[in-house]
Structure 1
Amino acid sequence: MSKPDSALLKKYQDSLSNAEMGYWELSLAEEVLKWDDGFKKLFDLKGDDYTGPLKSFLDKVHPEDQDGLKKYVNSVIEGKKDNRHLFRIVLPKNKIKHIRTCVYTNSKLRSKELLIGLSWDVTSEIILQEELSKAQKFTENILNSVPDPIFVKNEKHQWVYTNTEFERLLGKKREELIGKDDMAFFKKEFVEIYWARDQEVLLSNKPNENEEKIIDAWGRTRDILTKKTPLNIGENEKVLVGVIRDITDMKRIQDSLVEQSKMASLGEMAAEIAHEVNNPLMIIQGKAQLLQEKISNPNSDINAFRKDLELIVQNCVRIDKIIKSLKSISRKADLDPPENVSVLGLIDEAFEISKERFRKKRLNLFVVTDEKIDYTYRTRVRPSEVVQVLVNLLNNSYDAVSHQTSGWARINLSIVKEKYRVEVVDSGPEIEPEIINKMMEPFFTTKSTGKGTGLGLSVSKQIIQKYKGDFYFDKKNPNTCFVFTLPKI
């Protein structure tokens, strides 16, 4: 070999050694192994020898990996192309190295008595893979221990991950779900809602939380709260992470609280409502008796008859309005779908229910609206729920001003940023800061025992938030002022 060739070989061997790679040759007939500096360093071989019996090398191979290495070498001799193999060696002080090797037969020889190969250290790679595998398993265990169903979808709405709780909810195994979309398992009308909200999240790149319905593995329709979050996993790839919470029982409890609050409000007004209905009934009764007397008198004036009948009709209409308002607020709201209703109409119903209480105490109750707002201005809600909110607030106002000689309460209606802003303001005493901080909590009340449930404000807030509105106490107003907003349609 010429000097340039020797120098080139030296550089080549140095490069292999620096890369923690080694070259070797094995004589099958003699079972003798030859190696270079890189191999010597890799296997921690001592002394100046660059050759040795095959057995001394095999003794360094981990006992569990020796049979696998022999089978691999035999497969190469037999001409199979699987020419890479991974095994472990045990060094002094039980240090473990992971070695990957490539074995070739020498094609220049007529027989396959000489094997040549390269070996290199992949310990760092294997440790990294093991750590990654541990991390993945740890993450998987965490996700599977979460009591809420979790899923990940790609941009085609196909599931790419589901946790065990999601699989239990649908009664399917993971392999039945991965790669499938909602259309394979849910009603079309449900899927259209799911996908519309998926697209909203993916296009806006913002998380979204919505109440939805789902049919579980037992065929039951469940109310769920789904939070969907976009996640970028590459320059041009995005997935959607979803977390589901079953709120069926919670909604049932909320509905029960709403009904309790509603009945409590009506109970507080029962005497005034009875009086409100009794007044027109007394008028009707009196006029009916007079008409009986006039009928028996042949000289009675026909115009007097007409006026008496008109008064009876007016009072019947008055009773009818009271009864309709009571039916509206006492109706179980979840029986009705949301509908497009006049905001002024809702205020009228609450006003009709509440006004007698204020009138009886000579308190002023009135409504102020923007001039441009009329009965064509609508919002989409369950009417009885919003009427209940107004009645709750007016009941609170009544309690606050009932002992004042010139007390008042006012409903203000305006439009702010494409939302209706409804204010219930009264002349009641200032509310202490510590009470303001607690008064939205369920069952918190400052009223005496038997006069309040402590549910009115918390239930009212839940109702308004359900319609994407806000509900709060306005600290900036000089008077006591509760505000809620509703979307304008």
Structure 2
Amino acid sequence: MNNLSTKTEAEVSSFINLMPSAILWIDQNQKIKNANDIFLSIINKSKEEVVGTDLTQYPLQNLKQYFSHIDLLRNRDIKIVDHFEIDNEKKTVRFYIKEIEEENSYLIMGIDISNEIYRSEAHEEIRRQQEENARFMMIGQIATGVAHEINNPLAIISGFLFNMKRTLEKEGANLNTEYFLDKISKSAINIDRIAMIVRGLKFLSRNDLTSPFEDVHIQEIIGHALDICSEKFKATGVTLVIGDSTPEMIVNCRPVQLTQVLINLLTNAHDAVLESEKKLVRISFKKDDRNFTVSVTDSGPGVPLEIRDQIMKPFFTTKFANKGVGLGLSTSRIIVQDHKGELLLDQTNPETTFNIILKNKL
């Protein structure tokens, strides 16, 4: 690359056009001495329009920033990425700079990564859409069951009120204070049940995809999941056992996302034991100096050996269409991985056990 000044313009052009990437040759004053066809196609200019012009005329903000601080940055291995728009077309180029000291000039190599960035952004957008769709699917499935779960306590309250009204309307009825207090107390309990379900749905409906991570007690995550799930377990006769005590644990997370993951595991476990003689789902906890693990175990028939390697793959499900797929184990695993953790099937446990392993911040 040295001694470019001793070569003719045709020789320099021929040389840089052989390069498989965009090449820009500038002098110490940031005047463009030459550019190859790849670079010219990126900025959509001809060589006649570019040679002799100043680098500052082009929308290469990070590249220009580098040269404005060249005394500090010289000879450092720096990759510069510029995002810009030419004729309504968005471009992203990664630049590498080679100083030619004896000629007081710089050779700049650029790699157009626009398509790579687009594919990455498109992939991330698809993932966000899948997660959002799964969230709404989950809310829809829960909302379908909410009618039953809310109607039951409402029917109880309505019955209490009707009976109390009839008692009060009887002429000469001797008011039994203890009777009324008992009905009022039971009504309050059922009102709390309704409020718990609504509170859980309201929490779950938050759009948590772009919200910042925050420090949250794990008890809060588990509490919201139980607000949503506990009535379903009671209604179907499935016993839900919670570990004796939840260890003190703060996790840096998007709380709605982790709640969704836990609800998904609990829902899967619930469905797995419905046909079993023993209908038991258990949440347990384990904590050490590095990790905190939430385990969901069920007494169902277990995950068949032949599909254990597939259950975490996108769109894989063993459920029938009318059962829905909830958030999905593949999406759940991605969410946990985004939280610097792991979602794993415990292959050593004879009962079906999924472990959410998170970093212990305390």
Shorter-chain TM-score bucket reads 0.5 to 0.7
1:369-384 aligned at under 5 Å gives the runs: 369=244, 371=245, 373-374=247-248, 377-384=249-256
- The AA in structure 2 aligned to 1:390 is L
Give the C-alpha shift of residue 178 in structure 1.
3.0
1:190-229 aligned at under 5 Å gives the runs: 216-217=83-84
Q: Normalising to structure 1: TM-score of the pair?
A: 0.50
Equivalent position to 1:304, from 179, 199, 208: 179
Give the C-alpha shift of residue 336 in structure 1.
3.9
Q: Is the 8 A contact 1:392 1:456 kept in 2?
A: yes
Structure 1 residues 308, 359: CA separation in 2 closer, same or farther (over 3 Å shift)? Answer: closer
- The AA in structure 1 aligned to 2:20 is N
Equivalent position to 1:333, from 208, 226, 235: 208
1:74-473 aligned at under 5 Å gives the runs: 141-142=20-21, 171-172=59-60, 176-179=64-67, 216-217=83-84, 245=117, 247-296=120-169, 299-334=174-209, 336-369=211-244, 371=245, 373-374=247-248, 377-453=249-325, 456-473=328-345
**What SS does the corresponding residue of 1:485 show, helix, strand or coil?**
strand
Query: Is 1:474 matched with 2:346?
Result: yes
Give the C-alpha shift of residue 270 in structure 1.
4.4
**Structure 2 regions of 5+ residues with no counterpart?**
1-5, 24-37, 44-57, 70-77, 93-112
Alpha-carbon distance between aligned partners in 2 of 1:480 and 1:467, rounded to the nearest angstrom: 23
Aligned positions, number: 282
- The AA in structure 1 aligned to 2:197 is I
**What SS does the corresponding residue of 1:318 show, helix, strand or coil?**
helix
Structure 1 residues 380, 319: CA separation in 2 closer, same or farther (over 3 Å shift)? Answer: same
Give the C-alpha shift of residue 462 in structure 1.
1.3
Structure 1 residues 215, 301: CA separation in 2 closer, same or farther (over 3 Å shift)? Answer: farther
Q: Normalising to structure 2: TM-score of the pair?
A: 0.66
Equivalent position to 1:486, from 335, 358, 361: 358
- The AA in structure 2 aligned to 1:176 is K
Relative contact order, higher structure (CA 8 A, sep 6+): 2
Structure 1 residues 294, 216: CA separation in 2 closer, same or farther (over 3 Å shift)? Answer: farther
**What SS does the corresponding residue of 1:422 show, helix, strand or coil?**
strand
Give the C-alpha shift of residue 469 in structure 1.
1.0
**What SS does the corresponding residue of 1:333 show, helix, strand or coil?**
coil
**Structure 1 regions of 5+ residues with no counterpart?**
1-85, 88-129, 146-162, 182-201, 203-213, 225-242
Give the C-alpha shift of residue 294 in structure 1.
3.8
Task: Give the % identical residues.
Answer: 29
Q: Is the 8 A contact 2:60 2:83 kept in 1?
A: no
**What SS does the corresponding residue of 1:460 show, helix, strand or coil?**
helix
Structure index of larger Rg: 1
**What SS does the corresponding residue of 2:295 show, helix, strand or coil?**
strand
Give the C-alpha shift of residue 333 in structure 1.
1.5
Alpha-carbon distance between aligned partners in 2 of 1:379 and 1:407, rounded to the nearest angstrom: 31
- The AA in structure 1 aligned to 2:213 is P
Provide the aligned C-alpha RMSD in A: 3.7
Q: Is the 8 A contact 1:265 1:395 kept in 2?
A: no
Give the C-alpha shift of residue 174 in structure 1.
7.5
Structure 1 residues 431, 372: CA separation in 2 closer, same or farther (over 3 Å shift)? Answer: closer
